[in-house]
Amino acid sequence: MNREIKTDLGNILSLISCADDYGFHRDVLFDAFREMLDDKLSEEEIEWYSRKLEAMDGFGEEDYLSCKKRLTNFKNKYC
């Protein structure tokens, strides 16, 4: 059985940025995310999502920096 599952960029970046927090920092999962992103993740997308997170209630500059670092590390290793 093969069915198409759709999501948006924000959801994928959310999963990447919190994977380590929940013990899911695995190459197999990150390879799947890389495929979902079509092997591309731009600095602008990283900045957009990190700032979006920072603006949420209960989050701040430290969360922005942590998220940006995690997404940049993902980009450098998998994209």
Whole-model pTM: value is: 0.90
Q: What is the pLDDT of residue 75?
A: 98
Q: What angle do CA 32, 36, 37 make, to 5 degrees?
A: 115
Contacts of 71 (CB under 8 A, 6+ apart): 13, 16, 17, 41, 46, 49, 50
Angstrom distances, CA of residue 18 to CA of 3, 12, 31, 36, 76: 26, 10, 16, 17, 17
Greater confidence, 57 or 21? 57
Q: What is the pLDDT of residue 5?
A: 83
